[in-house]
């Protein structure tokens, strides 16, 4: 059974950010590898508390952990591996470097990746319901064709960095809360790449990339809604000197409909009928997103009654089941504001036969004036 992160740090579940920092700082001093050389248990403990702090110091990760525990981190989208945190990042904040940098020379991992890009895509209401393929254009960094992204002029290649010996990192002595520490940092000469370019490409000036307009096809799945984001892997900015491209995040914004109101997979609409249609019944054509359907309004239909049309709502997104939601049509009864003398007389006769009290013709004028005064 996985150890509770709060217990590892010795704090309560309501611990504040400052509480977490103080607890982690104290435990890091105790179990730091430099303070416990050749002690595998201390190093393992140090990694455990660093893992705990990495999760609990991240608001989103902490919320998932509080609700679902370790399983929530595995399935909650922390980038695949829920424990893929970086000790360098944590120690950069606390002590200014990598605690394991003293005796390790890592080769550079290659050119850094390009930046992620974001774009807003507007969709019509029916496009979001049924899905659509849309083309987007974005100004971004693309690999330089002249040097094939290497940054070096044609016929030349990069050479090993003389400052770091091609390692991409330099060792530094720093004073921390634990005393003097040997840390590693990216080489300032080669920016951690381990290579230098003596003769840079004249087109991209050694960057290996330049700005251009790119066009991509975005497949919007049926049932998407405003606020959703689609990720296009590798469609962001190209990395410098042949580094991998970042991702493109497409944020979706759906236009409102004049007819329908959406609530998840359910659509709501109104059908306006006359007083006589509601009383006597009627067959009325109603325009849905799928075309015209005939609705049978039974005699005696009351205002606010709801007709339920199954499978006329929004398609369920992949992973949420099959089929579509419902279309709920609410009846609105329109009462005539003006009547002809013949219509009025017939209605009065009906009211008299039903024993219903209605206003006299003279009273109606007075009531109309009273109503106008409050409008």
Q: Is the pLDDT of residue 307 over 50?
A: yes
| CATH code of the domain covering residue 270 | 2.60.260.20
Beta-carbon contacts of residue 365 (< 8 Å; ≥ 6 apart) = none
Our count of domains for the chain comes to 4
Indicate whether 329 and 294 sit together in one domain.
Answer: yes
Q: Is the pLDDT of residue 94 over 80?
A: no
Indicate whether 61 and 46 sit together in one domain.
Answer: yes
> CB pairs under 8 A, 24+ apart, for 257-262?
257/125, 259/287, 260/125, 260/289, 260/327, 262/125, 262/225, 262/314
**Share of residues in the chain with pLDDT > 70 (%):** 81
Q: Can you tell me the mean pLDDT for 83-89?
A: 50
Indicate whether 276 and 352 sit together in one domain.
Answer: no
Instruction: Identify the domain containing residue 45 by its residue range.
Output: 5-85
**The model's pTM:** 0.60
Tell whether 74 is covered by a domain.
yes
| Phi and psi angles of residue 71, each rounded to the nearest 5 degrees, phi first | -65, -35
Q: Outline where DSSP puts E strands in 8-164.
A: 117-123, 132-143, 159-160
Instruction: Yes or no: say if 220 and 134 are a contact pair by the CB < 8 Å rule.
Output: yes
**Share of residues in the chain with pLDDT > 90 (%):** 44
Tell whether 92 is covered by a domain.
no
List beta partners, residue 173: 182
Between 258 and 194, where is the model more confident? Answer: 258
Q: How crowded is residue 153: how many other Cβ atoms within 10 Å of its Cβ?
A: 17
pLDDT (tens digit per residue) in 220-233: 999 999 999 999 99
Question: Residue 201: its pLDDT value, please?
Answer: 93
How is 120-137 classified by DSSP, letter by letter?
EEEE-HHHHHH-EEEEEE
Instruction: Yes or no: say if 61 and 5 are a contact pair by the CB < 8 Å rule.
Output: no
Tell whether 13 is covered by a domain.
yes
Q: How many helices (H) and strands (E) does the chain have?
A: 10, 15
Question: Residue 374: its pLDDT value, please?
Answer: 52
pLDDT (tens digit per residue) in 271-289: 999 999 999 999 999 999 9
Least confident of 92-101, 203-212, 250-259: 92-101
Tell whether 47 is covered by a domain.
yes
Indicate whether 130 and 244 sit together in one domain.
Answer: yes
Q: What is the mean pLDDT of the chain?
A: 83
Q: Is the pLDDT of residue 177 over 60?
A: no
Indicate whether 273 and 330 sit together in one domain.
Answer: yes
Tell whether 62 is covered by a domain.
yes
Question: Residue 10: its pLDDT value, please?
Answer: 92
User: Which H or E element spans position 288?
Assistant: strand 282-288
Tell whether 187 is covered by a domain.
no
Tell whether 213 is covered by a domain.
yes
Tell whether 28 is covered by a domain.
yes
Beta-carbon contacts of residue 211 (< 8 Å; ≥ 6 apart) = 139, 140, 141, 142
Beta-carbon contacts of residue 1 (< 8 Å; ≥ 6 apart) = none
Indicate whether 124 and 24 sit together in one domain.
Answer: no
pLDDT band at 109 (very low <50, low <70, confident <90, very high): low
Q: Can you tell me the mean pLDDT for 14-42?
A: 85
């Amino acid at each position: 059974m996985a150890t509770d992160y709060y217990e590892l740090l010795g704090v309560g579940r309501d611990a504040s950010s400052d509480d977490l920092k103080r607890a982690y700082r104290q435990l890091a001093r105790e179990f730091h590898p430099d303070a416990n050389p050749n002690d595998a248990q201390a190093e393992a403990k140090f990694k455990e508390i660093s893992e705990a702090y990495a999760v609990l110091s991240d608001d989103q990760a902490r919320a998932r952990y509080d609700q679902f525990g370790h399983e929530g981190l595995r399935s909650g989208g922390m980038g695949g591996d829920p424990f893929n945190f970086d000790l360098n990042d944590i120690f950069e904040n606390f002590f200014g470097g990598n605690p394991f940098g003293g005796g390790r020379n890592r080769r550079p991992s290659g050119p850094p990746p390009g930046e992620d890009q974001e774009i807003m895509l507007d969709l019509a209401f029916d496009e979001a319901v049924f899905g659509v393929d849309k083309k987007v254009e974005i100004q971004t960094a693309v690999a330089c064709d002249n040097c094939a992204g290497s940054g070096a002029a044609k016929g030349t290649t990069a050479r090993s960095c003389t400052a770091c010996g091609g390692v991409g990192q330099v060792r530094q002595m720093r004073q921390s809360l634990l005393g003097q520490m040997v840390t590693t940092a990216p080489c300032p000469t080669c920016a951690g790449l381990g290579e230098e370019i003596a003769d840079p490409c004249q087109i991209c000036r050694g960057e290996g990339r330049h700005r251009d307009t790119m066009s991509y096809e975005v497949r919007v799945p049926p049932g998407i809604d405003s606020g959703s984001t689609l990720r296009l892997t590798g469609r962001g900015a190209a990395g410098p000197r042949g580094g991998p491209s970042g991702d493109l995040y497409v944020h979706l914004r759906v236009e409102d409909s004049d007819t329908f109101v959406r609530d998840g997979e359910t659509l709501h609409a109104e059908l306006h009928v006359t007083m006589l249609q509601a009383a006597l019944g009627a067959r009325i054509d109603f325009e849905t997103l799928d075309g015209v359907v005939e609705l049978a309004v039974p005699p005696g239909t009351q205002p606010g009654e709801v007709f339920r049309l199954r499978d006329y709502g929004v398609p369920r997104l992949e992973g949420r089941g099959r089929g579509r939601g419902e279309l709920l049509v609410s009846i609105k009864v329109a009462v005539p504001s003006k009547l002809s003398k013949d219509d009025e007389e017939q209605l009065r006769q009906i009211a008299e036969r039903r024993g219903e009290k209605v206003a006299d013709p003279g009273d109606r004028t007075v009531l109309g004036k009273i109503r106008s005064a409050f409008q």
